[in-house]
Amino acid sequence: MTEATPILPVEDDDEAVTGRSGIEIRNLYKIFGPEPERYIAAVKAGLTKTDLNRKHGHVLGLTDISLSIPPGRITVIMGLSGSGKSTLIRHINGLIAPTTGEVIHDGADVCRMTPAELRDFRRHKTAMVFQKFALLPHRTVLENTCYGLDIQGVPRRDSEPVARHWIVRVGLKGYEGSYPSQLSGGMQQRVGLARALANDADILLMDEAFSALDPLIRLDMQAILLELQSELHKTIVFITHDLDEALRLGDRIAILRDGRLEQVGTGQDIVLRPANDYIAAFVREVNRARVIRAATVARPVAAGEELPQFSVPGTEVLETVARHMTTAGVNHARVLGRQGQLRGTIAISDVLTAMVTPATAPAGPLAKG
């Protein structure tokens, strides 16, 4: 991007989600070992992960994680192996208890729930989709999809119509009587997704849900998830180590490194304004044309400027904008907001420059969004 092309705020694609609570993770620490409480003060005072392990035989899993997960959006938590992403997601439904910190949903701290409250929270407020599918081999597709409702005590006469609905929605109509061993990996993961959706939980936790799938099947599952989310507006926490997957799925992305948050923001925030050299290295090879939107590189309209006739939506990514402008044979276009309001103009040269200009990390302290 040139200096003449300012970065503008991009309006949200979706309507605001009301009537639901998000998740607030506050000052979360996790130390693994027989006496984690003994060392929490030292960790807060600066004891490193390496020294904690070498001197005291404990492992520092998460360090001071504070993260807002908005309702009705997909929040992607990504990082390399050992970064703490799976540990973090397991705190949300109480599978792991923190050494200290809070996980707040609907005014309640998941970390302080009684066993009965936690069971109710898991059965009715959350659903989980696992990397290894976690289907019961002796149950059919229909029976696996009903499983969460069975646990809730819902009679089969009520649960089966719900299960059949979601089996159709994930593209498995006709396979209701099949067993997991008769299905491909992608089909098995569709069953896992249908089972989670049948619970009608507000929170959907997906831990490397598509990582075991072949690339084309993985893209297909991502498309299915985005299509369903456009209608359902679940609060989804999606774990991945793949930046391309994170950028495709995430309304917000949180990047972890060694149990610490390095940066939180939209895909555009992270690609255009990496917080440090670590993030900059992550995004260096990203296809920016599939991430940056037209409104981001739009130029303000000058007084008396003649506006082009051709227009593009501000939320459209540059790859699509370039294709439309090239097909139409135009060099300039108006950029319009979701309600049709003028947000600026864009030139094909702006599009091409923004597509190829690499991002650089800022100097100074980390920006931790």
DSSP β-ladder status, 108-109 and 126-130: unpaired
Specify whether the backbone of 107 is left (phi greater than 0), alpha (psi in -120 to 50) or beta.
Answer: left
**What is the CATH number that goes with domain 288-356?**
3.90.1280.20
Residue 52 makes CB contacts below 8 A (sequence gap 6+) with 31, 39, 42, 43, 58, 59, 60
- Measured distance CA(358)–CA(283) in Å, rounded: 9
How confident is the model at residue 227, as a pLDDT? 93
Specify whether the backbone of 134 is left (phi greater than 0), alpha (psi in -120 to 50) or beta.
Answer: left
For residue 360, how many other CB atoms are within 10 A of its CB?
11
How confident is the model at residue 286, as a pLDDT? 87
For the chain, what is the largest distance between any 2 Cα atoms, rounded to a whole number of angstroms?
72
Listed in order, the ranges of the chain carrying CATH 3.40.50.300 are 69-283
Q: Which residue numbers in the chain have pLDDT < 50?
A: 1-16, 363-369
Contact 113, 121 (CB under 8 A): yes
How confident is the model at residue 361, as a pLDDT? 59
Listed in order, the ranges of the chain carrying CATH 3.90.1280.20 are 288-356
The encoded tokens of residue 206 equal: 């997906």
**What is the CATH number that goes with domain 69-283?**
3.40.50.300
How confident is the model at residue 170, as a pLDDT? 93
The closest alpha carbon to 297, from 308, 310, 288, belongs to 288
The closest alpha carbon to 88, from 22, 23, 28, belongs to 28
Burial of 81 from C-beta contacts in 10 A (0-12 / 13-18 / 19+): exposed
Strand partners, 236: 74, 204
